[in-house]
């Protein structure tokens, strides 16, 4: 029986486990009569251990996606022309957990209106609805929200503001503490967008992210979904990799799609530089990794590619 065949709602998993346990009891009684108590107990222990591993290994799809903010000046690539394509991509690829960047409140609400999706995250300008978001979306049939919060990438992360040599924008991270209804495991998801101009800002943001992730998640499993505006060999990414691991390099199957993740709405973009990441604490296994090049009517749904991973907890 594969893990995918048990993709559960909370009640379905509970019912399945109870059914298996009841059947095991019946088989145990038959086996006990044949071979005696100790052997039967060993057999039952092996059976229950196998069931526990199947339940705990339930994988899910986690992704990061820079949505490109809604600008009328983008013309045919403005959000009203892309919205349905983004929603279709989320549905088709069965994304269970999604960290986004750049979305304005209308974009966030458009995605949150999808059946079965919930979201967390505030606007970077005022800590409410103003400005771009680093919103996290999750499927309510798979996860339940336990806690959430936001912090800014600056020396004063508790209040909106620019950090270090960032000139254009406030930058923030949003996080969610989630319980996986498939197995009861609790983990933390972080979504972030690093500055595109400030070299110092990106370096210090990486240091801040590691510190805040330790403060918020402690030793619990955690994942970082983000547009880091930095390539893998750069200082900010290397700082993050002192505490996290890169899903692309961990994938148990060969990474699918191009290396690069920024397309600029150009179908002939070389896609050589990777700036969007799924980074993980040590407890995760990466079954698959992909940078998706889906298009609709010869147009990308955003100026970044979504990075989609299939993950399970050890």
pLDDT tens digits for 159-186? 999 999 999 999 999 999 999 999 999 9
One-character DSSP codes across 134-196: --EEEETTTEEEEEEEEEESSSSTTS----TT--S---EEEEEEEEETTT--EEEEEEEE--S
In this predicted structure, the answer to whether residue 49 has a pLDDT above a threshold of 90 is no
Residue 37: which pLDDT band, with cuts at 50, 70 and 90? low
Interior CA angle at 303 toward 90 and 286, to 5°? 50
Q: Is the pLDDT of residue 285 over 50?
A: yes
Looking at residue 7, its pLDDT comes to 43
Reported as a single tens digit per residue, the pLDDT across 77-93 is: 999 999 999 999 999 99
Q: How confident is the model at residue 235 (pLDDT cuts 50, 70, 90)?
A: very high
For the whole model, what pTM was predicted?
0.85
**pLDDT greater than 70 at residue 4:** no
Is the pLDDT confidence value at 64 over 60?
Answer: yes
pLDDT bracket for residue 25 (50, 70, 90): very low
The CA distance from 90 to 78, in Å, is: 18
- Which band of pLDDT confidence, cut at 50, 70 and 90, is reported for residue 10? very low
44-58, 236-250, 270-284: range with lowest mean pLDDT: 44-58
What's the CA gap between 282 and 16, in Å, rounded? 30
pLDDT tens, 253-269?
999 999 999 999 999 99
Contact (Cβ atoms closer than 8 angstroms) between residue 86 and residue 98: no
Banded model confidence at residue 310, pLDDT cuts 50, 70, 90: very high
Tokens for 166?
A: 């960032």
Tokens of 68: 């490109």
The residue assigned the tokens 């993050």 is 240
Region 213-236 average pLDDT: 98
Listed residue (63, 128, 61, 113) closest to 83, CA to CA? 113
Residue 201, pLDDT score: 98
As a dihedral over the C-alpha atoms of residue 283, residue 153, residue 230, residue 279, rounded to 10 degrees, the angle is 10
Query: Which are the contacts of 115, defined by CB distance < 8 A and separation ≥ 6?
Result: none
Predicted pLDDT of residue 5: 42
Residue 119 CA to residue 100 CA, distance in Å, equals 10
What is the average per-residue pLDDT within 141-146?
Answer: 98
Higher model confidence: residue 47 or residue 137?
Answer: 137
Higher pLDDT, 165 or 26: 165
pLDDT at 24 over 80: no
**Does the pLDDT at position 50 exceed 90?**
no
Query: pLDDT band at 240, cuts 50/70/90?
Result: very high
pLDDT at 112 over 90: yes
């Amino acid at each position: 029986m594969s893990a995918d065949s048990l993709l559960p709602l909370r009640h379905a998993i509970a019912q399945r486990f109870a059914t298996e346990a009841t059947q095991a009891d019946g088989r145990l009684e038959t086996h006990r009569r044949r071979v005696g108590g100790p052997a039967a107990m060993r057999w039952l222990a092996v059976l229950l251990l196998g069931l526990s591993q199947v339940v705990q290994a339930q994988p899910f799809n986690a992704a990061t996606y820079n949505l490109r903010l809604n600008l009328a000046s983008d013309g045919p690539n403005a959000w009203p022309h892309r919205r349905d394509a983004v929603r279709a991509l989320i549905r088709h690829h069965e994304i269970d957990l999604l960290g986004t960047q750049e979305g304005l409140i209308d974009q966030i609400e458009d995605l949150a209106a999808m059946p079965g999706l919930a979201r967390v995250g505030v606007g970077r300008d005022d800590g409410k609805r103003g400005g771009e978001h680093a919103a996290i979306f999750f499927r309510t049939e798979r996860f339940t929200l336990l806690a959430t919060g936001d912090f800014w990438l600056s020396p004063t992360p508790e209040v909106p503001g620019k950090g270090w040599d960032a000139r254009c924008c406030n930058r923030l991270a949003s996080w969610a503490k989630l319980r996986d209804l498939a197995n009861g495991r609790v983990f933390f998801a972080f979504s972030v967008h690093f500055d595109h101009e400030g070299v110092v800002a990106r370096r210090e943001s990486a240091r801040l992210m590691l510190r805040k992730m330790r403060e918020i998640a402690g030793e619990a499993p955690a994942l970082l979904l983000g547009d880091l505006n930095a390539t893998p060999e750069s200082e900010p990414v290397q700082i993050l990799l002192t505490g996290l691991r890169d899903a692309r390099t961990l994938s148990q199957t060969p990474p699918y799609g191009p290396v690069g993740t920024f397309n600029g709405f150009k179908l002939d973009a070389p896609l050589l530089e990777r700036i969007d990441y799924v980074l993980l604490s040590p407890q995760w296994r990466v079954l698959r990794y992909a940078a998706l090049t889906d298009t609709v009517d010869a147009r990308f749904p955003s100026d970044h590619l979504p990075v989609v991973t299939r993950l399970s907890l050890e």
